[in-house]
């Protein structure tokens, strides 16, 4: 992830885009990319959204949009000095406590709605 972060920094600096990469702007761009990813799945049924049912073109589009989301997320974390891996591991711990296996297994109801 450090290599990607560093390449993103250089990419932005070479283009003098760092001035535009404020947290607000990056979150807005990230939201737009999530919207583009969502659009691919918007009118698919649950069954049609499964990997084996997607066309090669859809798979490529999904891959590209996931990459865009990932890149904006890394750039945002960089600008806010957040260690994404550390934050994700911490969030996994929190979720394990919020959703104990005994109460959550095979249950899609949110923990605070039971």
pLDDT in tens, 86-96: 999 999 999 99
**pTM attached to this predicted model:** 0.88
Q: Which domain holds residue 88?
A: 83-114
pLDDT of residue 110: 75
pLDDT of residue 76: 98
Grade residue 107 by pLDDT with cuts at 50, 70 and 90.
Answer: confident
pLDDT of residue 102: 87
Same domain, yes or no, for 43 and 98? no
Same domain, yes or no, for 77 and 95? no
Q: What separation in angstroms does the CA of 39 have from each of 20, 54, 60, 61, 85?
A: 26, 14, 14, 10, 28
d(CA 103, CA 114): 10
Domains: count for the chain: 2
Q: Which of 22, 60, 17, 61 is nearest to 38 (CA)?
A: 61
pLDDT of residue 111: 65
Mean model confidence pLDDT for the chain: 95
Q: Which of 73, 103, 102 is nearest to 5 (CA)?
A: 73
Same domain, yes or no, for 47 and 95? no
């Amino acid at each position: 992830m450090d290599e990607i972060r560093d390449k993103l920094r250089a990419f932005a600096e070479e283009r003098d885009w760092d001035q535009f990469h404020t947290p607000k702007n990056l979150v807005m761009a990230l939201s737009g990319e999530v919207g583009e990813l969502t659009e691919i799945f918007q009118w698919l049924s649950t069954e049609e959204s499964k990997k084996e049912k997607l066309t090669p073109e859809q798979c490529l589009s999904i891959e590209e949009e996931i990459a865009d989301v990932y890149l904006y997320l890394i750039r945002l974390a960089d600008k806010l000095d957040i260690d994404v891996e550390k934050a994700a591991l911490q969030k996994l711990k929190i979720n394990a406590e919020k959703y104990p296996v005994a109460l959550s297994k095979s249950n899609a109801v949110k923990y605070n709605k039971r």
